[in-house]
Amino acid sequence: MRICSKISDYFSARAKTKAIIWPILSIVILFLVYAILTIYFPQSTSAISLDDPIFYTPEQIYNILESWGENQRTIELWFHLTWDFILPISMLFIFAIVISWLYQRAFNPESKYQNLNLIAFVIILDLLENIFLAILIINYPYQLIIIAWIKSIITITKYIAIIPIVLIILIGLIIAGKNKFKIQN
């Protein structure tokens, strides 16, 4: 538990008013980079995404991988090993800092609620999903059924896990707003 407090404190120490601009600016930059990447590496408009909040069976996953063809599988592999690897890491830091900033203004420094910035680590599920998808693509046409099941379970879990992050941010926003966004002592 002590290491969790240290990690939480790390993000809290970086959640200054001037510093909060960087996470917001990072989001804008990340999505601009995404827009540029989609111009240079267009995904097939007919390609079904395995990143959607849909539960696919291993059979469905392999049908989708087959329908992509070699070129689309290569594009998807590089997408999930670059952009879709950088984005979750960035979002982890962004969410942790934003939650820290809000909760410094919502609750006193000794409150256990200050540790809620650790909820941002559920973003690791997205990294795991990308790793399992990359394994499936790299090993195609060999069918790794257990990996396909795990990938599907992680995909659904990551979308469900976003709900507490949103709720924690909204709660922090409401309470910090009631406190006029002043740091609590």
Q: Is residue 19 part of a domain?
A: yes
pLDDT at 25: 80
- Structural domain count, the chain: 1
Q: Which amino acid is at 42?
A: P
Task: Note if the pTM is more than 0.75.
Answer: yes
Q: Is residue 13 part of a domain?
A: yes
Of 100, 111, 84, nearest to 168 (Cα)? 100
Percent of the chain at pLDDT > 70 equals: 95
What is the per-residue pLDDT across 90-117, written as a single tens digit (0 to 9) for each?
889 889 999 999 999 999 999 999 999 9
Q: Is residue 168 part of a domain?
A: yes
Q: Which residues of 113-143 are buried (b: 16+ CB within 10 A; e: fewer)?
A: bbbbbbbbebbebbbbbbbbbbebbeebeee
Query: Would you call 183 exposed, middle or buried from its count of C-beta atoms within 10 A (0-12, 13-18, 19+)?
Result: middle
Domain that holds residue 96: 7-35+56-178
Gyration radius of the chain's alpha carbons:
19
Q: Which two tokens stand for residue 22?
A: 């960087």
Residues making up the chain, counted from first to last: 185
pLDDT at 43: 59
pLDDT at 47: 65
Q: Is residue 30 part of a domain?
A: yes
pLDDT at 21: 77
Q: Is residue 46 part of a domain?
A: no
Q: Is the pLDDT of residue 19 over 90?
A: no
Q: Is residue 41 part of a domain?
A: no
User: How many Å apart are CA 152 and CA 175, to the nearest integer?
Assistant: 36
Q: CA 167, 170, 175: angle at the middle one, nearest 5?
A: 125
pLDDT at 107: 95
DSSP designation for 53: S
What is the per-residue pLDDT across 116-168, written as a single tens digit (0 to 9) for each?
999 999 999 999 999 999 999 999 999 999 999 999 999 999 999 999 999 99
Q: Which residues of 72-100 are buried (b: 16+ CB within 10 A; e: fewer)?
A: bbebbbebbbebbbebbebbbbbbbbbbb
Q: Is residue 76 part of a domain?
A: yes
Average of per-residue pLDDT across 77-93 = 86
Mean per-residue pLDDT of the chain: 88
Q: Is residue 90 part of a domain?
A: yes
Please report, for residues 10, 60, 135, 152, the alpha-carbon distance to residue 141 in angstroms, rounded to integers and kept in the order given: 44, 13, 11, 18
